[in-house]
Chains A and B, each alone.
Chain A
Amino acid sequence: MRERWTSKIGIILAVAGSAIGLGNFLRFPSQAAQNGGGAFMIPYFISLLLLGIPLMWIEWAVGRYGGIFGHGSAPLIFNRLWRHRTAKYFGAIGIFGPIAIFIYYIYIESWLVGYCAFSLTGTLRHHATREGMLAFLQRYQGIGSSRLFLYSYLFFLVTFFVNFAVIYRGLKGGIETLCTIALPILFLFAIIIVVRVLTVGAPNPAHPDWNIYNGMGFLWNPDFSALLNSRVWLAAAGQIFFTLSVGIGVIITYASYLSKGDDIVLSGLTATSLNEFAEVILGASIVIPLAFAFFGHAGAQEVAKSGSFNIGFVTMPLIFSNMSHGMLFAFLWFFLLFLAGLTSSISLLEPAVAFLSDEFSISRKKAVVLIAAATFVLCQFPIFFLARGVMDDIDFWAGSFFLVVFGMVECVLFVWVFGIEKAWDEIHHGAELYVPRFYKFVIKYVTPSFLILILAFWFFQQAVPTFLLRGVPRENVPYIIATRVGLFGMFAAIMVLVRKAYRIKFGESK
């Protein structure tokens, strides 16, 4: 008997928890500031309506449909949608992607635990310059030799254990309980920080124009000329894609624990809106306005371009060090990011757990132990070869490229192969909200076209140069090639398991 969600709010918060991650607080504000400010919200909302929300409903519907047949992961669900021998192998991406993301994401998540501890002990206060804070981060990451790396590894072990302890306890006792506690705490801490940010005023008396309201203006004042740039539209579509956790396979698995008559339209929309609340209202009101108030216009521009890691682990602790009760707010900041990371990382494990327990009929606990052993070994590569660019390479393939590929495959399979009429009926089973009729056209034509467009752009702009190792320092090339061989091996191993699972379930003729 498969597990089920015990409350509607439980699955909504679990899906919202999966979607709300570090990107809501670190990636979105820097993307908005760099791509037209307030004007960025025009392509952002258009992408949300035409790409994000339809894909969200598709994943919920695909997952619930698969769950009726006792499947909780993409491979055999895709096989139900398309009776073709290759369908299940496309679904293998839905297990490979989350696990590959998990093996580096968990390490970043563990930095947050470490920085929570450093906030409480006041260690972060000792680094008064950006260079000092960056050097501290690099020593913590193990770039160069330092005893700090031992702490980093210890915190990794703790974080790893916490993740698997949650997933080991199952759907009700683990995931649902965690998300119903963690999400409200996350929102509460974020609101406290936003209130503090909005009352910061002008912290530098020498620069009264460096204030929080001009900081909000830096983020929200629209630059309409940006709308003429295709890069801005692509950035908005990419942000929507990443922020909603679509194209990973996680929502499919979570929705597979629903019953056929359970609503997915309202639940999907609620999870999406909670994610947008965390991103556009809370996430946008912290980093960039604060950076403007402390470093001015040029400094905020530099921060926006510096990337998520620098914003989270260098700029923010530096700012908190210069605020009254700064270490308390630094703790709240890193703890809320940790909760955002934790609710996302546990969701990344669930497709593999569901695959092993549903298709090989082994207990959930045994599946969790097997996955823990495998991922523990795999995690060592991004940890020990971080400086060699291993993490960035896995992030590109598993966390960007295959996300769009998987999103496109599931969309085409559900809408075009399974059929739009059946798909539309499937979405509306038990619906407590009727999707406007024009969405039938959007789901059938606009969303797949949008995805093909994004994939084509990325393929030529990023995938080809990345594949050809352009810009990779010569000394890192062997490590990057080894990473790709490893990823390919991992994918091949999952394909073998998928084939075996198929034979067990359907007794494929040889």
Chain B
Amino acid sequence: MIELSSVSYVYPGQACAALREANLDVKEGETLCLIGRNASGKSTLCKVAAGVLKPAAGSAKVDGLSVGEECTRIEIRRRVGFLQQDPESQFVSVTVEREIASGPENLGFSVPETRKIVEELLGFFDLAELRKRPPHALSGGQMQKVLLASLLAMRPKHLILDEPTSYLDPLERLCVGKELKRISSVLGTSVVWVTQFLNEALASPRMVAMEQGAICFDGSPAEFLSRHDIHSALGIESLERFLLPGPGLPRTMRFR
């Protein structure tokens, strides 16, 4: 369980708080989509929830472990899989398969187990042909798939994903969404998923919206649809374009 209570954060040298008294509970096996305008604090919230940033005020806990303390840091990192925004800056290995294997290897998974996980993920993400390629030489979408695969390979209890599908094409976005749903229900993984694609958010069971560092909405998509005050606060003029042909499909799919 991830528990943020009245969390605030100010970046060094900045006058404005990036995060203002944010409260958020994410239960085991729960999936939520985090939306909001640019610079509204989504990534900062992710960094706190992932144990990367220590809150300036308030408290953040992952499975009861306090974020920002030396003694809990390693344990929190082990439990939380965190995908950051810039794909290029997150690679540690020289080939795609080594990249995916590096997590389970470092966590002490056995060789056959690691191999099995890597093969499964290479297959699922359609990366088998690229296995010997350096991750840096891939396209943006392929990089994102490798990063997602390497994160899933570690079987984390919580996934914090900061725009994990932004460089993927519409069909791949749909597949990744389905897979995350499956993982969450089968393994009980909790998923916090930042997205700029409103249709992805509307298809998730819970939506959280941020504006100017504060959480301004936390509820179901059905509730979100009826909150016109929130729509205007978020600068969403019309929701209709995100609603066709049905939740779960990328909005571009309606051009079929």
Partners in one complex: no
